[in-house]
């Protein structure tokens, strides 16, 4: 079954404590992306990756890092989380050139920074 797996599903942390949200896909897709969802703002792209070792900023990259060392994994790193990064995060992937199919999303990670 095609899947995008995020971990953890829920996370409460304190300001400044580094954390990583993992994302893995089993579809052999080259394109992966991270979004955050906030009420009234919809989903906004944080970072995306067109392929291994190729990453680029989305619309709201400040305070986040990513890496793409292998095709299946695309972790999201918060080096020094702040309360304004409290949000619902989604990892997503799509097939190369498969624009008519949209994205496949993970189940989400609800992050609370206190």
> Where along the sequence are the contacts to other proteins (CB under 8 A)?
31, 33, 35, 37, 40-45, 48, 50, 58, 90, 92, 94, 99-103, 105-108
Measured from the CB atom, the residue of 26 and 80 that comes closer to other proteins is 26
User: With respect to other proteins, which residue has the nearer C-beta, 56 or 79?
Assistant: 56
Smallest gap from Cβ 108 to other proteins, in A, equals 5
> What burial letters (b/e) apply to 44-55, b meaning 16+ CB within 10 Å?
ebbbbbeeeeeb
| Cα-to-chain-centroid distance, residue 46 | 7
Q: For residue 31, what is the DSSP state?
A: E
Nearer to other proteins among residue 67 and residue 103 (C-beta): 103
Q: Which two tokens stand for residue 46?
A: 């944080």
> What is the rounded CA–CA span in Å between residue 14 and residue 53?
30
**Shortest distance, position 26 Cβ to other proteins, whole Å:** 16
């Amino acid at each position: 079954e095609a899947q995008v797996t995020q971990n953890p599903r829920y996370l409460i942390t304190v300001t400044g404590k580094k954390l990583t949200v993992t994302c893995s896909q089993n579809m052999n897709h080259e394109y992966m992306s991270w979004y955050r969802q906030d009420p009234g703002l919809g989903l906004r792209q944080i970072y995306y990756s067109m392929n291994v070792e190729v990453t680029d900023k989305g619309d709201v990259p400040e305070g986040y890092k990513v890496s793409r060392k292998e095709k299946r994994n695309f972790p999201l790193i918060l080096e020094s989380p702040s309360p304004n990064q409290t949000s619902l995060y989604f990892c997503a992937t799509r097939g190369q050139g498969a624009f008519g199919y949209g994205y496949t999303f993970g189940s989400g990670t609800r992050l609370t920074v206190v």
